[in-house]
Structure 1
């Protein structure tokens, strides 16, 4: 376990490995920043975006899709260059986490900024159209789609639940079942990602750890951290066998920060099973 960038992010989230440049990207939602770290050179960059950036996705046409505030936007690695779609939702909501399935569809969540009202949901952008597909919750995290595109994992963070849904022929979420329940003593589930064996990794907010689950819901690995709030994992490196983890220091008091000087840092650790390359988002209809 190594802290490769002790950046002290307020709410580090959404790590994304970009194999086009061998760079790890992530956001700091509360601070309104996008960060880029290139392991081969140690290069570090910070881009000020404002507006609560929730996630970055690789765009098939080049650049990225940025989920920020209430909208999906084009981001070229330096600045926001235009809007793709705007999500109709209450002012007290924002976008939070997202992924791209193997067919290029964008699945992403919204949440209540106060983390209390169940006004968030899972949304889908595909074939140039945007719609809400299910998964209502106060705080959505994930989602993550299996390699075959059949199932979607969705995190209801406030309830401490990870759900698994079937994706039906109309790309709606159906037949939801609880995949895992996180005991509050172990923290709360944050972002999730699937590796090349379709095992699910979840960061535990307040849990000092990340877990790896088998498809049957069995915990098969626990990785401990020197900080409490683990937000999400991404796999990078030439063999996709380095796990990068974002963390956060939001709402920590002075005593907690003194005990956790690396809180909000970007961490890296080796894994035996590689991840999957990030699928490319198809934005054009």
Structure 2
């Protein structure tokens, strides 16, 4: 495959977020939505006019994904809630881990069937207590993967048949088949990030089925073929790239969230843009986004 990145990443919002995460392009209002987990913030960025808006969340907030009937599903520390951007309200939907007070929710995605997939993790980033869940028809949460300390991804292939999820501390991107019942089968290792290249964070899949992953402490984003071959290594001026999203009318504008919670006072001169929202262009579009239709 030919290289698809056509411009270098540039900062478009100097947020200096401790932990920017979860970017998603929302087609119905042609804007990028994302969160800052540690600042308890939900953000919206309109690239057409540069408009920026922010909302306070009642706790750490890890993802924001659109619901078909309106509003958003968000991942809070203890569970999934419905967020109404019109009045800033939060209404609980599901609490997957009431017995794990030291866990919080993390990354998420929506598959072509309108199902929400999301992960949990140890908030201290050490204990092996996190798993990937699927929100069920009745708002129940179905655990679908073995436990790890930090889950990331998940992401789904264009045909909706493969789910990728990340064991960040293990430096592994896993792949699984999604069966007709919405359960994961045939688990396998997709890619292992070599030591010293950073830790795999959030991942997404483009329209060619290639997997993009942000590298925490890796100064880059990687693009892998469906066979797991490294195709591109996109360099950033900051070390912690948490996740990307494809946006714009043609889905060829890539937005990337980053973090600065790891930057020491001595390191600020080395990466002054850490925690900003970045943007670059590609020649191969991402997938159109899906709306949550099940369990909400």
Report the TM-score, using the length of structure 2 for normalisation.
0.93
- Given the alignment of the two structures, is residue 268 of structure 1 paired with residue 279 of structure 2, yes or no? yes
- Given the alignment of the two structures, is residue 134 of structure 1 paired with residue 142 of structure 2, yes or no? no
* Corresponding residue for residue 84 of structure 1: 93
- Written as runs of structure 1 = structure 2, the 5 A alignment for 1:39-50 is 39-50=47-58
Separation of aligned partners in 1, 2:58 and 2:196: 34
SS of corresponding position for 2:196 = helix
**One of 228, 233, 236 as aligned partner of 1:222:** 233
Report the TM-score, using the length of structure 1 for normalisation.
0.97
Separation of aligned partners in 1, 2:60 and 2:293: 23
Separation of aligned partners in 1, 2:194 and 2:93: 38
Instruction: Select the structure that is richer in strand.
Output: 1
Once the two structures are superposed, residues 80-101 of structure 1 have per-residue CA deviations (whole angstroms, 9 ceiling, x without a partner) of: 3311111124001000000000
2:158/2:206 contact within 8 Å kept? no
SS of corresponding position for 2:204 = strand
- Shift of the alpha carbon at 1:284? 4.8
Separation of aligned partners in 2, 1:279 and 1:198: 16
* Corresponding residue for residue 178 of structure 1: 189
2:41/2:56 contact within 8 Å kept? yes
**One of 179, 182, 193 as aligned partner of 1:168:** 179
**One of 115, 118, 123 as aligned partner of 1:105:** 115
Once the two structures are superposed, residues 247-270 of structure 1 have per-residue CA deviations (whole angstroms, 9 ceiling, x without a partner) of: 000121011112111000000000
- Given the alignment of the two structures, is residue 64 of structure 1 paired with residue 75 of structure 2, yes or no? no
SS of corresponding position for 1:134 = coil
Consecutive unaligned residues of structure 2, counting only runs of 5 or more, are 1-8
Separation of aligned partners in 2, 1:257 and 1:39: 27
Separation of aligned partners in 1, 2:195 and 2:277: 24
SS of corresponding position for 1:255 = helix
* Corresponding residue for residue 5 of structure 2: none
1:135/1:173 contact within 8 Å kept? no
1:92/1:113 contact within 8 Å kept? yes
Separation of aligned partners in 2, 1:207 and 1:135: 26
* Corresponding residue for residue 213 of structure 1: 224
Once the two structures are superposed, residues 6-50 of structure 1 have per-residue CA deviations (whole angstroms, 9 ceiling, x without a partner) of: 110000000011111111111000111011110111111111113
**One of 6, 12, 27 as aligned partner of 2:20:** 12
Separation of aligned partners in 1, 2:202 and 2:173: 10
- Shift of the alpha carbon at 1:168? 2.6
Consecutive unaligned residues of structure 1, counting only runs of 5 or more, are none
1:135/1:154 contact within 8 Å kept? no
More deviation, 37-46/81-90: 81-90
* Corresponding residue for residue 154 of structure 1: 165
**One of 214, 220, 242 as aligned partner of 1:203:** 214
Separation of aligned partners in 1, 2:182 and 2:235: 36
RMSD: 1.2
* Moved beyond 3 Å, runs of 4+: none
* Corresponding residue for residue 120 of structure 1: 130
